[in-house]
Amino acid sequence: MAAVAPAAAAKGPFVPNGPASSATLWAVGDGPAGPAAAAVGRLIESGRPGVVLYLGDVYPYGTAAAFANSYRPAFGRFARLTAPTPGNHDWPFRESGYDPYWQGVRGHPTPPWYSFTAGGWQLLSLNSEIGATDAQLRWLHARLRGRGDCRIAYWHRPRFSAGLHGDAGDMQPIWHALQGHASIVLSGHDHDMQRMLPRGGLVQYVSGAGGHSHYPVSRAYPGLAFADDSHWGALRVRLRPGRAQLDFIATSGRRLDSSRVSCAP
């Protein structure tokens, strides 16, 4: 695998820091080039997002052509608001390995990991496609030195999932580092919606029903609190200092699941 360059400054040029008092984010992945991606895009637009966390996979390979032909028709109107994390379909294969940068919604390289703030929370975009490398862990530990656990981490392949792909065990070092320092983890990859019961102080959400296809969910999975594998939709995240309201919303506007997470500033 090609060497990964150090991440850029914490404030990415494509992610303006939001107001400290409140923020509305939408999180979804695995959408463009699918039959329902446009409907998911309209849902997010109606929710007036401050930031859109795109949880990875712009089909088929996350190239400039894929962005032009699939991402922009469905989600392009949110380009300036998008804070992406790379998925397994966003890494064009090359002879030397995989490109360490997702191409980004504006056609320029996106850092493999970065952070920003919104609604009194710190958001950490991490990279599951390279796993828990020493470089990524060093960067993460440096950003977890502050007090409190009002942090949301997000990456593509979920550490815990009742879906088709299952658990990403190689992300355990990242999960372990976040324990006691963050409260929420968001992922895509499995094409469905899931909410887990808290594990070690972290709540895992999977929001991969962005429009590409549906994957079945095993309701017998230990710790599964909510699952939906038949609707298209996205996760709305409303942030205020010390608390977060998270709702899975279907493209019809129906709220499928609602939960709250509190944190210590």
pLDDT in tens, 179-197: 999 999 999 999 999 999 9
For the cut 90, the answer to whether the pLDDT of residue 112 exceeds it is: no
The answer to whether residue 10 sits within a structural domain is: no
**CA separation (Å) from 145 to 49, 140, 148, 177?**
29, 9, 9, 11
Q: What CA–CA distance (Å, rounded) separates 67 from 82?
A: 13
The answer to whether residue 52 sits within a structural domain is: yes
Query: What domain count does the chain have?
Result: 1
The answer to whether residue 7 sits within a structural domain is: no
The answer to whether residue 249 sits within a structural domain is: yes
Q: 200 is in which domain, residue-wise?
A: 23-262
pLDDT in tens, 129-182: 888 999 999 999 999 998 999 999 999 999 999 999 999 999 999 999 999 999
The answer to whether residue 14 sits within a structural domain is: no
State residue 195's pLDDT score.
98
The answer to whether residue 8 sits within a structural domain is: no
State residue 2's pLDDT score.
28
Domain holding 29: CATH number? 3.60.21.10
Lowest mean per-residue pLDDT among 40-44, 91-95, 219-223, 254-258: 91-95
> Which pLDDT band holds residue 16 (cuts at 50, 70, 90)?
low
State residue 229's pLDDT score.
97
The answer to whether residue 4 sits within a structural domain is: no
Q: Which residue has the tokens 């999932």?
A: 161
Q: What CA–CA distance (Å, rounded) separates 82 from 228?
A: 25
The answer to whether residue 122 sits within a structural domain is: yes
User: Measured in whole angstroms, how far is the alpha carbon of residue 70 from the centre of its chain?
Assistant: 18
Q: What CA–CA distance (Å, rounded) separates 206 from 216?
A: 13
Q: Output the DSSP codes for 175-228.
A: HHHHTTT-SEEEE-SSSSEEEEPPBTTBEEEEE--SSS------TTSTTEEEEE
Q: Is the pTM of this model over 0.95?
A: no
State residue 186's pLDDT score.
98
